[in-house]
């Protein structure tokens, strides 16, 4: 895939986060299927772009679309750049209340759960994963990629160096796994350790390349990205 396209789909620490696309491609054939898809917390709609370019219909949604038209406009501009607006519709939507039942072949999100998880609502992550379950068709799949608590080094560096880390809930890998007990299957892998420490994208890409070589040396629960496929 071209670098510009990967940047437009993934946007941040692309060397590590783009591994989600490879993993999902291994687990599900999405090419030319015209699947009914929903992206949650899409912001600029990178994953909607990926699905639409592969010949699927997508509803691209975000909570911010309720009151931030400039974010919705960015998503529309991105999709127009690749001439795939015909495959995508837009909707403001909260993951806490998904108004569909047994409807989607594919639901997907990237880096969303942790933001909702900082909410004070009790068991809010579970609520989101249950809402997604309800909205999937039987046999439908959730594709997700999310930050994890990872190592102590990640924990302390987030505390000191990342402005918005107090607004993010970094769940432990084992706690994310538990959310999927009602699903038929959950397959996942973890990737990435150093990439997140880059101060700009150039540094992150460089560190992400080191991660690609060294990932196997890092314990699975210390890697900072979880990539998953859960089937209803």
Ligand X SMILES: C[S@@+](CC[C@H](N)C(=O)[O-])C[C@H]1O[C@@H](n2cnc3c(N)ncnc32)[C@H](O)[C@@H]1O
- Between vectors from CA 13 to CA 9 and to CA 17, what angle results, nearest 5°? 60
Q: And the tokens for 136?
A: 């999937």
- Cβ closest to ligand X, residue 161 vs residue 214: 161
Structure tokens at 28: 């599900």
Report the residue number, 108 or 184, with the smaller CB distance to ligand X: 108
Taking the complex as a whole, the smallest distance from the CB of residue 216 to ligand X amounts, in Å, to: 26
Whichever of 1 and 214 has its CB closer to ligand X, that residue is: 1
Contact by Cβ (8 Å): 132, 40 = yes
Q: Give the interface with ligand X as residue ranges (CB under 6 A).
A: 11, 40-43, 46, 62-64, 94-96, 110-112, 115-116
Which residues partner with 104 through β-bridges?
136
| The pair of three-digit structure tokens given for residue 182, joined into one six-digit string | 């009602």
- Note the maximum CA span of the chain: 45
Q: Give the burial class of 152: count Cβ atoms within 10 A of its Cβ; 0-12 exposed, 13-18 middle, 19 or more buried.
A: exposed
Given a contact cutoff of 8 angstroms between Cβ atoms, the answer to whether 30 and 106 are in contact is yes
Nearest to ligand X of 72, 173 (CB atom): 72
Q: Report the nearest approach of ligand X to the CB of residue 116 (Å).
A: 5
CB of residue 33 to ligand X, shortest distance in Å: 22
In 3-state terms the chain splits into helix, strand, coil percentages (rounded to 5) of: 45, 20, 30
Q: Which single residue brings its beta carbon nearest to ligand X? A: 41
Beta carbon of residue 95, minimum distance to ligand X (angstroms, whole number)? 4
Q: Which is nearer to ligand X, 167 or 219 (CB)?
A: 167
Q: Which residues contact 108 (CB under 8 A, 6 or more apart)?
A: 24, 37, 38, 39, 40, 47, 51, 142, 143, 144
Q: Among residues 91 and 221, whose Cβ is nearest to ligand X? A: 91
For the bound state, the minimum distance from the C-beta of residue 23 to ligand X, rounded and expressed in Å, comes to: 16
Tokens 């540094």, located at residue? 203
> Of all helices (H) and strands (E), which one includes residue 81?
helix 69-81
34 or 161: whose CB is closer to ligand X? 161
In the complex, what is the shortest distance from the CB of residue 43 to ligand X, in angstroms, rounded to a whole number?
3
Instruction: Specify which residues 171 forms β-bridges with.
Output: none
Q: Nearest distance from residue 217's CB to ligand X, in Å?
A: 27
């Amino acid at each position: 895939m071209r670098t510009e396209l990967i940047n437009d789909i993934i946007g941040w620490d692309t060397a590590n986060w783009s591994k989600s696309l490879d993993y999902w491609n291994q687990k599900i054939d999405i090419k030319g299927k015209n699947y009914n898809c929903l992206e949650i917390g899409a912001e600029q709609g990178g994953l909607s772009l990926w699905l639409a370019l592969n010949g699927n219909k997508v509803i691209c949604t975000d909570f911010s679309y309720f009151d931030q038209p400039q974010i919705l406009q960015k998503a529309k501009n991105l999709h127009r750049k690749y001439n795939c607006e015909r495959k995508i519709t837009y909707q403001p939507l909260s993951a806490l209340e998904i108004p569909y039942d047994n409807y989607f072949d594919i639901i997907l999100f990237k880096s969303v759960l942790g933001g909702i998880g900082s909410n004070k609502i009790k068991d809010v992550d579970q609520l989101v994963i249950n809402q997604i379950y309800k909205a999937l068709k039987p046999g439908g799949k959730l594709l997700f990629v999310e930050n994890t608590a990872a190592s102590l080094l990640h924990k302390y560096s987030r505390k000191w160096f990342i402005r918005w880390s107090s607004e993010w809930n970094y769940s432990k890998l084992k706690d994310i796994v538990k959310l999927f007990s009602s699903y038929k299957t959950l397959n996942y892998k973890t990737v990435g350790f150093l990439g997140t420490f880059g101060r700009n994208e150039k540094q992150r890409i460089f560190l992400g390349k080191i991660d690609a070589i060294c990932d196997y040396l890092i314990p699975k629960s210390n890697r900072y990205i979880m990539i998953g496929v859960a089937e209803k």
